[in-house]
Amino acid sequence: MKTEVAALLAKAEAADQSAAPDGLSIPDELAQREKRLQKLSEARAKIEARAKERFEREQAEHQTKLG
Q: What is d(CA 52, CA 58) in angstroms, rounded to the nearest whole number? A: 10
Percent of the chain predicted with pLDDT > 90 = 54
What domain count does the chain have?
Answer: 1
Identify which has the larger pLDDT, 7 or 43.
Answer: 43
The parent domain of residue 53 ranges over 2-9+24-66
| Residue 19 confidence (pLDDT) | 61
Of residues 48, 41, 11, the one with CA closest to residue 26: 11
* Angle ∠(42,48,55) on CA atoms, nearest 5: 160
Write down the pTM of the prediction: 0.58
Would you give the end-to-end CA distance of the chain in angstroms? 48
Q: Answer yes or no: is 15 within a domain.
A: no
pLDDT tens readout for residues 29-59: 899 999 999 999 999 999 999 999 999 999 9
Q: Answer yes or no: is 14 within a domain.
A: no
Q: What is d(CA 63, CA 38) in angstroms, rounded to the nearest whole number? A: 38
